[in-house]
Chain A
Amino acid sequence: MFLQQLINGLTLGSVYALVALGYTMVYGILELINFAHGEIYMIGAYLGIIYLALFTWLGWTGSHLFLSLFLVFVLAAATCAGYGLTLERIAYRPLRHAHRLAPLISAIGVSIFLQNYVMLAQGSADKVFPHILPARSFLEGGIPISGIQAFIIIASLSLMGALHFLVRKTRLGKAMRATAQDKTMASLCGIPIDRVIAGAFIIGSVLAAVAGVMVSMYYGAVHFFIGYVAGIKAFTAAVLGGIGNIPGAMIGGLFLGLVESLGSAYISSEFKDGFAFLILILVLIFRPTGLFGEKVPER
């Protein structure tokens, strides 16, 4: 029972961590809470179902199941990257020098718009992800872990590793770190900061899309409202780890998933969604810089 909850928590936590990375990257660079990020995740979850339906219609899922699943992820990530890019262009870039509340409010506007757009286009009922993967839970060395859970945990961890590599070792990562430290100075050094910011949005959206598709596979159903709650939880994870801090967001997400899963199993399942906010408020009282935010946020 405990082990089962632990694994459920880790699965949930790796999804939160993936979404939290998007918040923390954008915050690190722009000092802006990207309120619409949760909706990108929701769109990713819908796209997973939509593209899978497309491949089922093409008849690929029967013959090339894993190839088509891979393509579902790639296509959903590409489409979400488009959404993220457009979001930045429309709602954030023109407001970069406006007063502080303007981008927050326009982000809330985008968030409401996207929710209702998806509801109008796809209907307000739950969308169901078809059962094409073996849903059985299998015992591997005594650990009760299902195939999907193992996949989610492994895929999330490898994506996080890839992101860490990207930020630490590549030119784009270096440019991002520089922009986060000082935008003016970075642009004086010839770093195209508009492109770097767009890059942060694209990467964040890709991670959110992957998280979305994985969640729709895991729970088997999505709803146009999921982005709001998941968004707040992921943001909590980011704050927990110290906002702007990439490894912090990963650990914050995993921790939050564990707390939520164990809390709903042993304390109260009705207040499942409340734990995240409680943690958020506790962190802000006792350690507002987050668990790993001792230094000035690096990125």
Chain B
Amino acid sequence: MLKFLYIPLWFGLLALPFMGWAGAGRLVFALGMGGLVGWAFLRLLSFIRLQQAKEPVEEKGRGIMIALKSLNQIRLFWGGLFLLFLLPVFLNNYYLDILSLAWLYGILAVGLNITVGYTGLLDLGYAAFYGVGAYVYGLLSTGVGLSFWLGLPVGGGIAALFGLGLGMITLRLRGDYLAIVTLGFVQIVYLIFNNWDSVTNGPNGILAIGRPQIGGFVFRAPIHFYYLSLVFLIITATAAQRLIHSQIGRAWMAIREDSLAAETIGINTTRMKIFAFVLGSGIAGVAGVFFAGKYTFISPESFTFLESVRILSMVVLGGMGSLPGAILGAFLLTLLPELLRGLANYRMLIFGAALVVMMLFRPQGLMGKKA
């Protein structure tokens, strides 16, 4: 019981220099009361459970899970897909725009999931590859009038080349170094976008990038991009799904679980790691081209470390090593900030705390399998 006094007091003491007497006092009160209420609630819950001990609670939960599993998954999938294609009929432009952004993040999350989730390489510089794709297309589109459809393979390819260069350097080393090098890489790329004025136009970014078009039809309304991004996401997710269930995907997972054991059964771990890293980078590049084509404007601010963290947290939230999880994570983390607009200033604070809480209580994510 005493811990509801001294833990809040400790945090109050830490916060005192920053928040003053009044702020720290409020914090202590809030933490203490919150802790007490939560504790009381948990006690109540366990009390109720004890009362129902004869009728096992676990069985109930399992019943729901079995019912969910027995639903025809394939039919469910097609139904959901049909719904997604039908959805724009009911939504206004604002939501269509957010949803197409969510699908774009879905592509990014699927790509990063290959690197982080399946192969277990912590890539903190994912936004750099995303930015490379966007800038390559932006520059080529405004410079030589490259079309969007050609931009996709070019942007993706160049991002993948960057991934190859960086991967060859770092992937031979221990895992943690990759995190730091990619972190440095995202910072260097940002500095180049921001300071190499003669090419990238510095902080002002690149304007008037070409939109995607087929024949005479130009994609410009939110609904066009909704469908385009959805199609892209489906293609990416399907390709990733096929790859993960192939020999390559199993090799990645073997590396993630135990790289030494993977090596002893004849997997070329360095090559497979580099392949995963390059593939992830290429997908980010393609997503970057899409981003540039959708907004027709790019600036360095869209490709910072924070963007990397955002994509990473989508993967973590959804569940590392789960494709539907990555897409769910992208969907939630794009939509929730929009819904929480009222909390504007506290958004990042909650976000940071949520990452910690997630790691403490459900490190496998919403849809991930327990390790």
A→B interface (CB under 8 Å) = 31-33, 46-47, 50-51, 79, 82-83, 86, 90-91, 94-95, 98-106, 108-118, 120-122, 228-229, 232, 235-236, 239, 270-271, 273-274, 276-278, 280-281, 284-285, 288
Contacts and interface: CB of A to CB of B under 8 A. Distances in A.
Interface in B1-21: 10-11, 13-15, 17-19
A276 B184 contact: yes
Interface stretch (B59-67, B185-193, B221-229): B185-193
Interface in B92-125: 116, 120, 122
Q: Taking chain B's interface residues, is the majority helix, strand, or loop, or is none over half, making it mixed?
A: helix
Contacts of B19: 121
B270 to A, nearest CB: 14
Contacts of A108: 309, 312, 352, 355
Interface stretch (B70-78, B132-140, B239-247, B342-350): B342-350
A120 B351 CA distance: 14
Given A109-B353, A273-B187, A284-B173, A100 B359 contact: no
Contact of B360 (A51, A83, A94): A94
B181 interface: yes
Contacts of A100: 120, 175
B14 A79 contact: yes
Name the residue among B116, B309, B349, B354 with the largest chain A CB count within 10 angstroms.
Answer: B349
A91 B183 CA distance: 20
A232 B190 CA distance: 15
Interface in B318-371: 320, 345-346, 348-349, 351-356, 358-360, 363, 371
28 contacts: A50-B18, A82-B14, A86-B14, A100-B175, A101-B116, A103-B359, A106-B356, A109-B359, A111-B352, A112-B309, A113-B356, A117-B18, A117-B349, A229-B187, A235-B180, A236-B180, A239-B177, A239-B180, A270-B195, A274-B188, A274-B191, A277-B187, A280-B181, A280-B184, A281-B181, A281-B185, A284-B173, A285-B169
B38 interface: no
A80 to B, nearest CB: 10
A207 B179 CA distance: 24
Given A86-B10, A98-B363, A276-B184, A91 B356 contact: yes
Contact of A116 (B175, B187, B349): B349
Contacts of A274: 187-188, 191
A236 B184 contact: yes
A46 B18 contact: yes
Contacts of A235: 180
Name the residue among A31, A90, A281 with the largest chain B CB count within 10 angstroms.
Answer: A281
Contact of A82 (B13, B116, B185): B13
Contacts of B345: 120
B254 to A, nearest CB: 15
Contacts of B348: 112, 115-116
A79 B10 CA distance: 11
Nearest to A117: B349
A112 to B, nearest CB: 3
B305 interface: yes
A115 B347 CA distance: 12
Contacts of A104: 122, 176, 179
Contacts of A31: 176
Contacts of B236: none
A33 B180 contact: yes
Interface residues of B, number: 49
A119 to B, nearest CB: 8
B302 interface: no
Contacts of B184: 232, 236, 276-277, 280-281
Contact of A232 (B18, B183, B360, B371): B183
A42 to B, nearest CB: 12
Contacts of B23: 121
B18 A105 contact: no
Interface string B264-279: 0000000000000000
B352 A113 contact: yes
Contact of A122 (B18, B116, B120, B175): B18
Nearest to B354: A109
B355 A112 contact: yes
A114 B352 CA distance: 8
Contact of B187 (A114, A117, A122, A232): A232
A168 B191 CA distance: 41
Interface in B160-203: 169-170, 173, 175-177, 179-181, 183-185, 187-188, 191, 195
Nearest to B20: A121
A286 B32 CA distance: 53
Contacts of A82: 10, 13-14
A115 B348 CA distance: 9
A95 B357 CA distance: 11
A189 B140 CA distance: 64
Contacts of A120: 345-346, 349
A31 B177 CA distance: 11
Nearest to B174: A288
Nearest to B178: A284
A267 to B, nearest CB: 13
B122 A101 contact: yes
A109 B195 contact: no
Nearest to B305: A228
B18 A118 contact: yes
Contact of B17 (A50, A112, A239, A270): A50
Name the residue among A33, A114, A118 with the largest chain B CB count within 10 angstroms.
Answer: A33
Contacts of B159: none
Nearest to B124: A108
A112 B351 contact: yes
B192 to A, nearest CB: 8
Contact of B352 (A51, A112, A122): A112
A106 B360 contact: yes
A284 B181 contact: yes
